[in-house]
Amino acid sequence: MQKRRSFSAEFKVKVAFEALKEQQTLQELAQKYELHPNQISAWKQEFLEKSASVFSQGKKKEEATVDTGKLYEEIGRLKVEVDRPATRFLKKRV
């Protein structure tokens, strides 16, 4: 039984980019890289769909840092609230 091959992201981008150039047919690229033409088409389609996210990544990183700060603040507040009733309960028992 043959093990599945895995490809790096760099290799996929290289193949998809060559397919976008259209200097060679899919069949020629498939022979060159020992892949099935359908696989090249799938990588090319995925590359086109996700290419817009390259330019919007800067905004997502800024939003994520703001959200994590708020979340850490809320976690701290909730932790204090949870700890208080436990100490009151223990004091009543003793």
pLDDT tens, position by position, 11-52:
999 999 999 999 999 999 999 999 999 999 999 999 999 888
Q: What is each CA distance from 84 to 80, 88, 90, in whole angstroms?
A: 6, 6, 10
Which position has the higher pLDDT, 58 or 39? 39
User: What number of other Cβ atoms are within 10 A of residue 43's Cβ?
Assistant: 20
* pTM for this model (two decimals): 0.56
Task: Indicate the average pLDDT of the chain.
Answer: 82
